[in-house]
Structure 1
């Protein structure tokens, strides 16, 4: 099968979507620390969710091991009958993602996340050690990993340390930050973050989580402009939230500051056609890897795959991308105007909640 770099040269690559948040809704993960013990306790549930993303048209399945680092697992106080360590969880996550990826033609991406030792100001040697602990499982299973990703970083400095460690795996590296308009958690601008990320040597850089579709598009534009100014050609990736949260666009912690987080966000869910629009605009801005983070469900990933089907040059199309608007192909009971994509693309959906506010006052 073609690797990440080959696929990026040929057209856009579609990532998968929400894991921890969706598993929590299904009863397999606990809110709060969002630690990934489900890969050990409920592997069949994790496989089923990954299978849904594959069927939706995802080209990449990420190892379901977000927050699997020694410090995060200890802080999360995970409940498991055996001794659970980072390496055990990450190896299990690799095997699960690989098994499902073989059902289609998907790549497997090993994910690394920020560590507690950095946030506590520990020595860089300790910080690197915690990243090495995450990476060890992926190095051990290099036979089934196609590339590795550093994601959800709030400090560009910590990201640079992580990528430096990741080079030991000798695999293609991607990296993303939870980056909004005001820059990283230390106030480093979007533009500087983009340039520094590209200069790490990562083959793919971008943003994920914390912010909604519109905010991510604005941030992507600034990143692309900054890279162009420096003559850097690193392709972009974007994995936004599946909820509308415009009132938190200029807050460093994004949607985490909403009173509805994490148990009452359903009324903010974006429609699949909003995702169609997002995928097209993100691609036009230079994002050649587009997936989703928290709140982006399989039908949203399907919308990305369908919107970019022509650019992906799939012949024949993989499962989930054919027909181009598969959810209308057998809709004889719908009104005539609803059989046209234009109707749905121009729809301003209502919330159905008469007394609900359009937005709320976020926490300070």
Structure 2
């Protein structure tokens, strides 16, 4: 099949987008929590390729180049600015290699820019620096031939606008998603739906939300965005049980922990007991699809198995759906007639 563009795919139905490489690389042991810099693209390219592959096989239509936090400011902080360009180009090239492996239609490759954590609405110098940081990364994306750009996790509306402007400067399509902090409003005063409406009107192909919030605390805002925006809308929550009292994963408590945590809260390395299971995430995906969310996925903390459940919930058979759960032949819980019947007596006692 000829490779369709992102817009063509969106016109024909929902697009699945697997994100969350940051936590996945840390979980696999190839990225340091805290600094969260994706040096794995240079140090362990085989590991990154396999991770890309795992998410693509789980249903992602997009191989997102892992350059989150691979911007000049973050590289300055860790003293490795000389690795900035090699890291960005390597992440994209590895993504392109994996995208070509898709057995039915080559996956899309997205370049990635994100929140810089230096944006200050009162400081023009910071805005100029942000623009410069985006521009150099996007020039490399353009040269490496990505299909579109994913600009993500912006908690300032104006920073998202700068990202969109620089993406458009390169003549590339833009997916722009916002990270809504616990104030429930963008940090420069815009509501998330107002910000998304403006970004859509300015020409972003897809707008919406990603990260920070789980399904329960993101969905109400996705509904507002869907009502405010005429174009395509994205929803990519984290897979954690956030609540109205604790709407983001930055301050989620774990009342059952008996040990002393090295961090103030469970974020980022003690979130394990707070996961949604895959079936809860699948129910969210159905709900998101029903209200017209077009670009659907999961963010930090998501596993390929979770993403596969999301894809299957909205009617998409993935490459690895052949490995989806089937308890028919399980020795305790299966119904296959060839199983030893007496084992069923131990189901409640196992």
User: What TM-score, normalized by structure 1, do the two folds share?
Assistant: 0.81
CA distance in 1, matches of 2:117, 2:155: 12
Aligned to 1:160: 161
User: Does residue 319 in structure 1 map to residue 319 in structure 2?
Assistant: yes
CA distance in 1, matches of 2:251, 2:120: 19
CA distance in 2, matches of 1:126, 1:66: 17
Aligned to 1:94: 92
Aligned to 1:54: 56
SS, match of residue 282 in structure 2: helix
**1:50 to partner: Cα distance:** 1.1
Root mean square deviation, CA, Å: 2.1
Aligned to 1:83: 82
Mark the runs of 5 or more structure 1 residues left unpaired by the alignment: 228-232, 338-364
Aligned to 2:311: 305
Are the equivalent residues in 1 in contact too, given 2:99–2:107 (CA < 8 A)?
yes
**1:248 to partner: Cα distance:** 5.0
Counting only pairs closer than 5 Å after superposition, residues 113-262 of structure 1 correspond to structure 2 as: 113-119=114-120, 121-123=123-125, 124-142=127-145, 145-179=146-180, 182-227=184-229, 233-247=230-244, 249-250=246-247, 254-258=248-252, 259-262=265-268
CA distance in 1, matches of 2:329, 2:234: 34
**1:30 to partner: Cα distance:** 0.6
Aligned to 2:273: 267
Larger Rg: 2
CA distance in 2, matches of 1:281, 1:293: 17
CA distance in 1, matches of 2:167, 2:276: 34
SS, match of residue 111 in structure 2: strand
Are the equivalent residues in 2 in contact too, given 1:242–1:297 (CA < 8 A)?
no
**1:59 to partner: Cα distance:** 0.9
SS, match of residue 165 in structure 1: helix
Aligned to 1:276: 282
Are the equivalent residues in 2 in contact too, given 1:23–1:29 (CA < 8 A)?
yes
**1:178 to partner: Cα distance:** 0.2
CA distance in 1, matches of 2:267, 2:54: 25
Counting only pairs closer than 5 Å after superposition, residues 4-19 of structure 1 correspond to structure 2 as: 4-19=6-21
Are the equivalent residues in 2 in contact too, given 1:63–1:94 (CA < 8 A)?
yes
Q: Deviations over 1:17-53 (max 9, x none)?
A: 3111111111100111211111011111111111111
Change (3 A) 1:119 1:27: farther
Are the equivalent residues in 2 in contact too, given 1:17–1:297 (CA < 8 A)?
no
**1:329 to partner: Cα distance:** 6.4
Are the equivalent residues in 2 in contact too, given 1:151–1:175 (CA < 8 A)?
yes
Change (3 A) 1:53 1:305: same
Aligned to 2:67: 65
CA distance in 1, matches of 2:57, 2:148: 21
The worse-fitting range, judged by mean Cα deviation, of 176-185 and 10-19 is 176-185
The worse-fitting range, judged by mean Cα deviation, of 124-133 and 20-29 is 124-133
Q: Deviations over 1:212-242 (max 9, x none)?
A: 1111111101111223xxxxx2111111101
Change (3 A) 1:336 1:27: closer
Equivalent pairs, count: 316
Mark the runs of 5 or more structure 2 residues left unpaired by the alignment: 253-264, 336-350
